[in-house]
Amino acid sequence: MAENKNLTPNEERVLYGIVQFPEKNDKELAALLQMKDSTLTSIKKRLEQNEFFSYHFIPQLNRLGVELLGIIFTSFNPTIDFEERVRITKDKIESAQEIFYSVGAPEMGFSLSFTQNYSNFCAINEKRTETFGEKGLLEKEFPREVIFPFQISSIDEFFDYSRLFYHHFSHSLQGITLQPSITKPWFSPQSEITLNDKEKKVFIALIENPKATMQEIGEKVDLSRHTVARMKKKFFNEDLIRIKVIPNLKKIGFKLLVFYHLKFSPTAKINKDIIQQLNSPSTLFCAHRKFTAVIISAYPEYSAYKEDKVRKLTFLKENNILNYTPSPRKYVFEQMQVIKDFTFYDITKKILGFPLE
């Protein structure tokens, strides 16, 4: 493993702790990491100011009427200027409220979205295809789509970086007994919840301002901080919202983001054990249903990717799970652009019936 040159051992330790325990305050985190409170607070502040990480409240939108998570990935004409394509994409397509994460590279790209139903998802993809076709951006194939309806799918990982950092920062975590926690599945089938108008305003304000105090949220929505705090506690207790820290892997020194689209053989019996074999410590995102899966992984070096890829493909072939050899799509951090960076505010406002300003 290549040694990280961008962070000191103490900074690595703090960053891992923040990612693993985003809900804990500085005092609690310092105790877990065996550091002085002042040291942790100083390092955390410096990392945040230098944009090594950001806080996000993730809405469990399946409980508010969203039916599916949709993924679109595309291959592009390499003769078209990358910057021009990014501009067109950002203005014409990725501005859709449903899209919460989008990445582009010189010859390919992918985006993730929450949509209320399949018709809405198709509308986004048709607009994408039409725009790309008019501009001559497509290579030979249409943009490809993968659908994960929440009722029949499992979102096993949703951009959880704790396992990745636990292994990558292992030299800095020696002497600490922390282990990556096993989180409950994301967007699992649960009863829908109806929010009143005041709750909707607070919910949206929290998604938009995850670092704001209850007083600041209260002033924004014209409610007392006690009312805001009570509502926020309700949202967490009812699993309507979760907190997550998203690190900047490029700044930390990671080299590759890799997109795997897997189609399973109709004779394969996919179960949790098989998915766990594919869900390695490098995995940030993992979603699957009976005959398909999408995995997004990050690697500090190309050699780490090769090792993980061989392990995955060997397992799949030996167990006759695939009847073809998948081609992982490699995104080099130094060459790719994040077009839309974990933006949940837009789709939350749309689902709750509030127009964007």
- Cβ burial, residue 184 (10 Å; 0-12/13-18/19+): exposed
Q: Per the domain annotation, does 327 fall within a domain?
A: yes
The whole-angstrom separation of Cα 108 and Cα 256 is 14
What is Dmax (Cα atoms) for the chain? 61
Give the three-state DSSP class for 235: helix
**For the chain, where are the E strands, in sequence order?**
53-59, 68-75, 99-105, 108-115, 144-149, 154-158, 241-247, 256-263, 283-289, 292-299, 329-332, 337-340
Residue 1 has a pLDDT of: 40
Query: Residue ranges of the chain with pLDDT lower than 50?
Result: 1-4
- Token code pair at residue 223: 């409610």
114: β partners: 69
pLDDT for res 57: 96
Q: Are residues 72 and 206 in the same domain?
A: no
pLDDT reported for residue 69: 97
pLDDT at 5: 54
Give the phi and the psi of residue 223 in degrees, each rounded to 5. -135, 160
> Containing domain of residue 260, as a range?
62-158+254-340
Number of domains making up the chain: 2
Instruction: Indicate whether 287 belongs to any domain.
Output: yes
3-state secondary structure at position 29:
helix
pTM of the model: 0.92
Same domain membership, residue 264 and residue 226: no
CA dihedral of 25, 30, 33, 39, whole degrees rounded to 10: 130
Same domain, 151 and 102: yes
Question: Does a structural domain hold residue 275?
Answer: yes
The C-alpha angle with vertex 126 and arms to 125 and 130, in degrees rounded to 5, equals 120
- pLDDT reported for residue 157: 93
Q: What length does the chain have?
A: 357
CATH number, residue 198: 1.10.10
Same domain for 143 and 260?
yes
Q: Using one digit for the tens of pLDDT, what is the confidence trace for 124-140?
A: 888 888 888 887 777 77
Q: What is the pLDDT of residues 216-227, one digit of tens each?
A: 999 999 999 999
Same domain, 301 and 267: yes
